Structure 1
């Protein structure tokens, strides 16, 4: 991603409704589907500016990878985690059989070889370990936001499951999320195409609006851990090695 995107993330990832609510959704998927053992070893691939690490540390000891030098330094300053550099599938030195949970949170869509990247992580799982991935959904929603964030693709549910199967993973649970706000976000993306708007959709709304959006999005945590929502702006998948 561009330097400006990382800088903007660092400014807003502690309070913006999307980041805050998404962390609550991810926590539910961890607790109800990934279910790491107490004191688990966890790896976050593509940790960005580190906003997910305190949440992940509730479930165990966290290691992290991030290719951007400045984001990596910021994450270490924020969290104390010594973040590794490098790029998947071949550019990161990771221990085999080490991790009870590996997470890629809106990361896979940035990687040209998504299958190769996922496949490279399978040997790093400990026995019984699982992988949790979130990605943007609905390819027809492709917009200036995706371009600004250097996305390679958006996923359909069927397409995401094929990527996992091709990578040697069996999907245990898959659901769309950010469903309640889907019509609003789809309309905003469509309007942006018509008007030729450029850049991402990461403006910080007023505090009252931010609280409302956070509450609507975060309410989905009551469903996503046990059920599969049929549509949404994002997809979440929890998987384990197929063999």
Structure 2
């Protein structure tokens, strides 16, 4: 996940409509799998893997990020959360790559690197920002290399040796509003985040819109701000 956005939201990240909704969509995608041991790549604070520990029934999390100053161990409700700069081969049954691949030059290579560390049958849940025409100063601020369509990120995962189980766009109901705002500012690539802290009313309305979308989310291959793909190592 994007550490710069964590810095903006701080302790409010779990209440912000965007991260709250993305965590709910993640849980909707992986809950039927019953993941027990999560490998969270590019984890930052470990927000999403910690969410699965607290709400999704997972038993442990291994958070990997080259940005960590040192390795450290924590617990969440008695469940181990390990923070590491790298990891050895692991028996984790779910690999998270939440908004990671858009940051690296060799996205296929990064997926292959971690696919080599897990067992056959391990699932991968990958999210990336969607649609190149939405490129803005927000992407520049976050050091993105690219945005993806759903077929493009699915092809990336297949090229890395994974089998795609299903893919969908999310944040579809707010997509028209976000698109209008991005297109209105087209040509201005000044690096700045579009993420904001909102008042309770705005935050609640945006969260409600995303919650209303959630039941049909797995079927949405039309449009959204984020692309979600569930894949599996053969």
Match of 2:227, SS state, is strand
Which residue number corresponds to residue 215 of structure 2? 222
Aligned residue-pair number: 229
Change (3 A) 1:16 1:99: same
Q: Distance in 2 between matches of 1:22 and 1:5?
A: 14
Question: Structure 1: which 5+ runs fail to align?
Answer: 86-91
| Cα offsets for 1:43-101 (capped at 9, x unmatched) | 0111122322332213231111122236987x95989623111xxxxxx33215x1210
Q: Distance in 2 between matches of 1:187 and 1:8?
A: 24
Question: Structure 2: which 5+ runs fail to align?
Answer: none
Choose from 128, 142, 152 the match for 1:149.
Answer: 142
Q: Distance in 2 between matches of 1:138 and 1:72?
A: 36
Q: Distance in 2 between matches of 1:119 and 1:217?
A: 32
CA contact (8 A) 1:141 1:189 kept: yes
Q: Distance in 1 between matches of 2:207 and 2:132?
A: 24
Match of 2:47, SS state, is coil
- How far 1:31 sits from its partner (Å)? 1.4
RMSD over aligned Cα atoms: 2.6
Match of 1:183, SS state, is helix
Which residue number corresponds to residue 235 of structure 1? 227
Which residue number corresponds to residue 111 of structure 1? 104
Q: Distance in 2 between matches of 1:3 and 1:105?
A: 12
Q: Distance in 2 between matches of 1:56 and 1:95?
A: 21
Q: Does 1:81 align with 2:78?
A: no
Choose from 158, 174, 181 the match for 2:174.
Answer: 181
Q: Distance in 1 between matches of 2:27 and 2:137?
A: 29
- How far 1:11 sits from its partner (Å)? 4.1
Q: Distance in 2 between matches of 1:179 and 1:7?
A: 26
Which residue number corresponds to residue 16 of structure 2? 16
CA contact (8 A) 2:5 2:195 kept: no
- How far 1:105 sits from its partner (Å)? 0.8
Change (3 A) 1:3 1:235: closer
- How far 1:144 sits from its partner (Å)? 0.5
